[in-house]
Amino acid sequence: MTPLRVGLLFGGRSGEHEVSIASAKAIAAAFCADENAQKYELRPVYARKDGVWHDGEIAAGVLASGTPLGDDGGTTADRWQFPPSVAEIDVWFPIVHGPNGEDGTLQGLLQMVGVPFVGTGVLGSAVGMDKLMMKTAFASIGLPQVEYIAVRRDEIWSNPCVFPKLCDRIESELGYPCFVKPANLGSSVGIAKARSRGELEAALDSAASYDRRIIVEKGAKVRELECAILGNDNPQASVVGEITYDSEFYDYETKYTDGKANLLIPAPISDVVAKRIQELAIAGFLCLDCAGLARMDFFYLEETDEILINEVNTLPGFTALSMYPQLWAATGVSFPQLVDRLVQLALERS
Ligand SMILES: Nc1ncnc2c1ncn2[C@@H]1O[C@H](COP(=O)(O)OP(=O)(O)O)[C@@H](O)[C@H]1O
Ligand SMILES: [Mg+2]
C-alpha cells in the first residue's frame, strides 16, 4: 500500500503561532505511531508569521525545536510561491489557529487547490470565528446564549456624543460585570471584564484597537464546560470536560501558563447536564456546517441550572495536553486513532 501523503500545515499569521507549532508537534508524533506509520507519510509545511511557507528540513526543524523562524524579509510575492513539494500532498491537515488559519481564509486556499483537507470549510470557519455572526447563527436555531450587544468601532471612536449613550445602553441592558470582546480574535486576546463605567470605557477603547466589530456580553458567574465533536454529517460528541482556575476569568495568561488552569475530565456534573451539553454541541456544529472536528464551549450557571453555548473552535488546541484530544482519549479514541479518523473524514467529505 502506498502511504497517503499528509501535509501538516502549521504556524500561520495569528498570535497563536506558537500554540500551532505545539499542536503540530503532537499531531506529527501521532502520525508516526501504531498503524499510522505505514498508512501515512507525513509532510510538515510551516507557514511563517509573515505568511511565507517552508517544507522539508526547515519545516521539520521548526517542529523538532518548537521555535518559530524569524522574518527573513519575504515579500508579498513570496507568499504566493509555495514550495513545489506541496503539489504532491494527497490530503491537508491544517492546524493553524486564529485569524488567517481558522477563519476560512486558509480553507478557501485549500478548497481552490482542490485537495481534501481536515476540518470545516470556508463558511463554517468564517462564521465560527466571528463571535457576532456565530451568535446570530446559534440564535437562529434557538440555542441558549448570554445576553449581548453588538458594537461597531465607529460608535466608540468617531463621535464623542454617541459614546456616552452607548455606555448608558450597555449599563442599563447588561449591567456589570460585562465582558467586552473583539469579534474576531481568540485566546482571550483583547477581552476585558468591566465592573464600572471607567473599566467599560477603557475596555471598549482597547477592543476597538483590535477589531471593527465588538461584542459586549452580560457577565455571568459560570462554570466552563467543553465538549469535543468528531464527524461530518453524523457527528459524535465526546464526554464533557471542565476547566477550572483561580484567576478572574480564563484569560490569555491563565490559558498559556503551566499550572494556572486544570482540566477535569469528565466534568463533575450530572448526567442530565452532560447529555444536554452533548446535544447542544452537536446542534451548534451542524448549524454552522462544521466538518471533521470542533470543540464546543459552554457556560454552566449552576444557581439557575442554565446551560449557555459560548463558542465554537473549529481548529481547537491540539497538543497532547489540550482539551480536544484529551476528551476523545477519555471517550475511547486514542490520539493516533483521532488523527487517522480526521484524515478519513476529510477524504469522505471531498
Ligand atoms: N459572558 C461571560 N460571562 C462570564 N465569563 C465570560 C463571558 N465571556 C467570556 N468570559 C470569560 O472569558 C473567557 C474567554 O472568552 P471567549 O468568548 O471564550 O473568548 P476566546 O474566543 O478568546 O476564547 C471565557 O473562557 C470566560 O472565562
Ligand atoms: Mg474561549
Question: What does the pLDDT look like over 313-325, one tens digit per residue?
Answer: 999 999 988 999 9
Find the range with the poorest average confidence among 32-36, 68-72, 338-342. Answer: 68-72
pLDDT band, very low/low/confident/very high, at 70 (cuts 50, 70, 90): confident
Q: What is the pLDDT of residue 160?
A: 84
Residue 257 reports pLDDT greater than 90? no
Percent of the chain's residues with pLDDT above 70: 99
Within 8 A by CB and 6+ apart from 80, the residues are none
Which of these CATH numbers, 3.30.530.20, 3.20.20.70, 3.30.1490.20, 3.30.360.10, describes 148-218? 3.30.1490.20
257 against 283, higher pLDDT: 283
Domain map (residue ranges) of the chain: 4-118, 128-144+221-314, 148-218
pLDDT band, very low/low/confident/very high, at 73 (cuts 50, 70, 90): low
Quickly list DSSP for 263-299.
Answer: EESS-S--HHHHHHHHHHHHHHHHHTT--EEEEEEEE
Amino acid at 182: P
Residue 343 reports pLDDT greater than 90? yes
Residue 58 reports pLDDT greater than 70? yes
pLDDT (mean) for 270-277: 98
Cα–Cα distance, 340 to 350 (Å, whole number)? 16
- How far does the centroid of ligand 2 lie from the alpha carbon of residue 247, in Å? 15
Going by alpha carbons, the residue nearest to atom 14 of ligand 1 is 188
Q: What is the pLDDT of residue 114?
A: 93
- Closest ligand 1 atom number to CA of residue 250: 27
pLDDT (mean) for 93-111: 95
- Fold for 128-144+221-314, please state it: D-amino Acid Aminotransferase; Chain A, domain 1 (3.30.470)
pLDDT (mean) for 130-159: 96
Ligand that lies nearest to the alpha carbon of residue 190, given by its number in the listed order: 1
Average pLDDT score over the chain: 95
pLDDT (mean) for 307-311: 98
Q: What is the pLDDT of residue 185?
A: 81
pLDDT (mean) for 258-276: 96
Q: What is the pLDDT of residue 187?
A: 79
Going by alpha carbons, the residue nearest to atom 26 of ligand 1 is 250
Ligand that lies nearest to the alpha carbon of residue 15, given by its number in the listed order: 1
Ligand 1, from 97, 310, 311, 313: best to mutate by most atoms within 8 Å of Cβ?
310
Going by alpha carbons, the residue nearest to atom 16 of ligand 1 is 188
Q: What is the pLDDT of residue 80?
A: 80
Beta carbons of 93 and 342 less than 8 angstroms apart? yes
Residue 186 reports pLDDT greater than 80? no
Residue 72 reports pLDDT greater than 80? no
- CATH no. of 4-118: 3.40.50.20
Going by alpha carbons, the residue nearest to atom 8 of ligand 1 is 179
Same topology, domains 4-118 and 128-144+221-314? Answer is no
Beta carbons of 4 and 40 less than 8 angstroms apart? yes
Percent of the chain's residues with pLDDT above 90: 86
Beta carbons of 135 and 202 less than 8 angstroms apart? no
Q: What is the pTM of this model?
A: 0.96
- Parallel, antiparallel or unpaired: strands 178-182 and 213-218: antiparallel
Torsion, Cα 109 112 113 118, to 10 degrees, reads: 60
pLDDT (mean) for 171-196: 93
Across-strand partners of 263? 243
Beta carbons of 316 and 98 less than 8 angstroms apart? no
Residue 81 reports pLDDT greater than 90? no
H or E segment and range at residue 10: strand 4-11
Question: Residues lining ligand 1, CB < 6 A?
Answer: 146, 179, 181, 186-188, 191, 217-220, 222, 224, 249-250, 297, 310-311
Beta-sheet strand order (sheet of 40-47): 53-54, 40-47, 4-11, 91-94
Q: What is the pLDDT of residue 349?
A: 94
- How far does the centroid of ligand 2 lie from the alpha carbon of residue 224, in Å? 9
pLDDT band, very low/low/confident/very high, at 344 (cuts 50, 70, 90): very high
- How far does the centroid of ligand 2 lie from the alpha carbon of residue 94, in Å? 20
- Tens of pLDDT, residue by residue over 325-336, are 999 999 999 999
